[in-house]
Structure 1
Amino acid sequence: MPLITLPYISVQPDWDQVVRDVSTNTTPSEQFWVSCYETGKQSVHAKVAVEKSSSPSKPQLKGIEGVEVKPINSISFSLSCPSYSLKDILIVGPKHKLSPFQGKELGCINVSPNGDLYAASSGKDISIGKLNNEQAVRTLEGHLDDVTVVQFFPSNQAVLLSGASDFQVKIWSVLDGSNPVTLKGHTSAITDLDIVGRGKNVLSSSRDGTVRLWHCGTGTTIAVLGDYGTIVNKISVVALPAKYMSVVVEGTDEKESETADKLVLVGLSDGTVRGIHLGTKEELFSTLPKDSAITAIAFDDNTSTLCTGDLHGVVEVFSLSDTSKPLVHWKRNDHSVTALTTRLNENGDRVLCVSNADGSVYQTNSFELVLKQGSVALEVEYTGNELEPVRSMVILPSTETIGFNRIVCGVRDGSINIY
């Protein structure tokens, strides 16, 4: 399967402000730039003219010098570039933008299960705030070094898990800011966290090459999963696929809860992803090693497919029935993949969202089509990150009024963009 090269559309980060300036009569007309890139092709650098129209809330957009555009609303338009055979790619700006750290660097973010609160780190501190209005709730202080990962417990937005470069994992009460439990045992920085079921057990990974299963109530280690001799960058707990359900689980520790039917995906710096049965603690599969560290992983329950992103920008999709080679793989440039996640789009299709260290965030076409055709296409380009690395990407739950998943991106410059 050849490596597919996807195009990259770069748009002036404040293009949506340009549109608002014209729609509010701040200026009668204005322009913003747009560029299209693809490895091996000559780049296209163009402009979009924004002028008043008969509908004040929807100014006229006109592509200049190689692109065609159609306005949709104040934060989105479609773009076509004949030179790249790109047709009606959706360009989307942030619906809301929060700046809780006033210029300080952002480390990571997470969002509460109901989409109400965010937790974001800057240095050693964690800020808790309202996602809809940036109202600060409180600051959690206690880590001795930079916080690298935060995660709300799935059953309770009032409890937060955090890991840091001080080798520690902490459990916090969001209600009063207390830290009743600190989990100690790793010998290097924490790289990732995940929560098992309702949260009696949690998992942590570290630069020390291990994954630890913890009992939250006693703060003790139940098991050390693997000792890989290389950095564990990412972990993810998913439901055990049907093909592994026949594995017999015996001798489970009494402090374990909901581990028998879980699979742990482990992304390593040697370029492999390992699948570990959380009940038996045994490794079930491994992808082949490569010379680029795994930096992002995602799992699609509907199709039992594993998605990986690496340090050199390559995204690969594997079927768990055969992890020896990807079903499809692609890249846009050499910038590291920082996050992967699937979401439901406005048409009800499951799609894959990818963020990179160059600040780009994009969305593929229907994941079902990607698997069926063994190919991939660019569908949406999310803008507004000004070349700053996207540190975290979170999918908000759908609601009765919004039947699709919004995206929340935490950017190094301290901004939180909601699409």
Structure 2
Amino acid sequence: MTAPPASPRPLLSGASRRWIRVLPWGVAFVLCVALLPTTIQVLSVEYGMNGGLASALAVAQAAPLLLAVVRPLHAWYVIFAADVAGALALLAVDFDERHLWPFPPMEIVGYVGLCLALGLREPRRTLLRVWLATAGANIGLGFVAPHGTSAGDALLTILSGVTLVLCGALRERYEAQRRLAEQETISEAERGRRTLLEERARIAREMHDVVAHHMSVITVQADTAAYRHQGLPPDEQAEFTSIAATARESLGEMRRLLGVLRNEEAHGELAPQPGLTRIGQLAEATARAGVPVEFTAWDADSGADVDAAVPEAVSLSAYRIAQEALANVVRHAPGAPTRVSLSVSVSSDAEADAPRLTVLVVNGPPPRPPAAPLEVGGTGHGLVGMRERVRLVGGVLDAGPLPDGGFRVAAQLPLDSQR
């Protein structure tokens, strides 16, 4: 079964302001109320037409203006036929030569109002057909003009053509702007999606080094087990050999996977991945660039400094989060006092004895004048990269502006190896 066609929407129904949405109905109502009695009066009194016929023509020429708000082309069929019928009916009436014919003034006003609705709704081809029909009727009636032709006989053709052209151009301009806005919205969404995918691929390339290191250790331990432990039974030696072969095969598969993720813009991926021990150096480099940075690292349980005995994935994520946060300080708040802290504690709202690493970067408002920036380009994709790295290790990220004009980035990364 096919869905029923959607009902046409009124003119300007998509406008943001209510008075604009109501405007077409108001204009149509005013024209209908004003033209209905005026047409009856002019046709019956000025032109001498029969009162009943004048009333019928007035209703057919004015009432469809209300329909024009929703279906202007349907209203045009009725009004155009009524206008032509009224012109033919006036041929049987002996009216003064000074009166306009074939279309009296009130019919011209109503027809121009109808052309406004047509221009704002119908496509260019339909508007051309409407104008050609109007001009053709005007020219055809001119051959039977009771008092000869005059310049005023073409008034309806001229005014309707101008109205259709102006309103059609206005509608096409609005449609072009709407499509441009939609395209910009789609492009922005695509840019965000591409940024997310690029950051995920970048994180995956970095995580490859971490996993490859562990697989290499497994391979070496399995290969050397027979030399480190004398007297291993043949079955156990065969099992270690199988483990080493499986680990080497896994490394090969990971290299092929990395080849898919690698791109031309990826540089420096053969270097060792940084970790917690490099965050202090990062803070010192930022301080040398003119940003006062205070760095602290401590363990809440032991009271000692945070050491590097954390999972490599967490250590790498912590470094990248601090790096991106400090880069944002340099770019957006140069010279602002900044505090970087690392702390290890036991989570109170998670499983019992679940340790977590907290990375906190807080900066105040920038001073005046600003200092020179440390970096021109970013190291990642800002908050998108931070959220992806935190999500990778099952942590939580809280980032946002502070009331005093500064900014705060806080990441809690679980140290549980099962996560």
Give the TM-score taking structure 2 as reference length.
Answer: 0.20
Structure with the greater alpha carbon radius of gyration: 2
TM-score by length of 1: 0.20
Q: Say which structure is richer in strand.
A: 1
